[in-house]
Structure formats: C-alpha cells, structure tokens
Chains A and B, each alone.
Chain A
Amino acid sequence: GAGVSQSPSNKVTEKGKDVELRCDPISGHTALYWYRQRLGQGLEFLIYFQGNSAPDKSGLPSDRFSAERTGESVSTLTIQRTQQEDSAVYLCASSLTTYTQYFGPGTRLTVL
C-alpha cells in the first residue's frame, strides 16, 4: 500500500535490552516524525527529520533514545537499555513540507 508502515507491530522485551523500531514513510514525503503515546495519554513528540537538514531531537527523553533516517526513506528509532517506563505505542508519521501528517499504525512496546 501507499501508507506509512511500521514494524514490528508489537514488541515485548526485557528491561535492559535494546530495541529497534522501523518506519517506512510514504514515498516522496520529506518530513518524518516519531511520537510516543503512553496508555491513555496524548502524543509526545520525540524527533523530527526534514529532508537533509539536521533532525530536531528536542523531544527525545534521554540519551538512551536515538533515531536515524536514510535520506528521505526509512527511519529507525533505537531505545537502549530499555526501562519499564518506555512501554508505550511508538508512532511514526510522514508529511510533505507544509501539509498533513499521515500516521503509521504504531509499534506497541512492552518492557517487562
């Protein structure tokens, strides 16, 4: 399909392990965003990529979180040494520069 895809859809991990979450944006979308949504809460901005510009990392909650994007394609969000408070749904969205965001289905991360 032509939408934003994310993998895995669900991830269960043990405290202290590293995880990688993947996002495939819509082809041609220059902007890519990562958000975190804890149970029953709103969206928490994590990081934003715009073309080849330096990413806006202002939302990353700690240095355990990092993200990369290859050009205007796939992005990977990495969480090192996971903690139980990292349990959440991680959402990826893409957009053209001035238009609407399109969200992926999310990755539900559970840290035991």
Chain B
Amino acid sequence: GNSVTQMEGPVTLSEEAFLTINCTYTATGYPSLFWYVQYPGEGLQLLLKATKADDKGSNKGFEATYRKETTSFHLEKGSVQVSDSAVYFCALSDQGNTGNQFYFGTGTSLTVIP
C-alpha cells in the first residue's frame, strides 16, 4: 500500500541554520510528492511539489528532490528564518482505482529561534 514516513519532531534550530526534514514513502504506482506547511493558527498550504523521479520542487528557499532509488523526498533549506517556524507535512498522491488519493505523514514541528 501507500504510506509516508517523516522525521519526528519537534525540531529546534537557530536562525540561519541548515534544515533537513526527512521523508520516505512507499507507493504501488508512480506518485506525486508534496510538502505542505501549516503556520501557527493557519490552514495547510502547499509548499512545493514534484511529479516525477529526479524532479526538484522549490519554493521560498526550500527544496526537495524526488528520489525514486531511495524512495525519499527530503525537505531542505540552507538558512532558516524565525518565520519558517511551522509544522511541515510530507505527502504523496497516487492514482488509485477510484481516483487520486493522498497520504500524509504525521508532520514535523519546526521552531526557529533568533
């Protein structure tokens, strides 16, 4: 079946530190992969996505590369800011028998301190 496993948090970093949040997946087909972000008090919003192997999604300084050989989609940012403090969710979508289904990881909470 399909599933997503992501690094457990919480993660606390100092401003300008390098960020990696690990995400691995299991899928029966050829999924698309996503990172969603949930800022405090707000709803989930798409951060970036990649739809096929070796694609790199990027947005707001964040990047993630779709690695089929390692079934991974790790989120990285070279220099985090206080405003990046949020919960990050890795997700995949796969075309199931009844349409497009989504599977989410449990979320990783990031706190960036000045």
Contacts and interface: CB of A to CB of B under 8 A. Distances in A.
Interface size on A, as a range, is 20 to 34
A43 interface: yes
A25 interface: no
Interface residues of B, number: 23
B43 A95 contact: no
Nearest to A35: B104
A8 B101 CA distance: 26
Given A43-B89, A98-B32, A103-B44, A50 B99 contact: yes
Contact of B100 (A45, A50, A91, A102): A50
Given A42-B89, A100-B34, A48 B45 contact: no
Interface of B: 32, 34, 36, 42-46, 49, 89, 93, 95-96, 98-107
Contacts of B96: 56
A97 B36 CA distance: 18
B38 to A, nearest CB: 9
Contact of B99 (A53, A91, A100, A106): A53
A95 B106 contact: no
26 contacts: A31-B100, A33-B102, A35-B104, A41-B106, A41-B107, A42-B89, A42-B104, A42-B105, A42-B106, A43-B89, A43-B104, A43-B107, A48-B98, A50-B98, A50-B99, A53-B98, A56-B98, A93-B102, A95-B100, A95-B102, A98-B95, A100-B46, A100-B49, A101-B93, A101-B102, A104-B43
Nearest to A105: B43
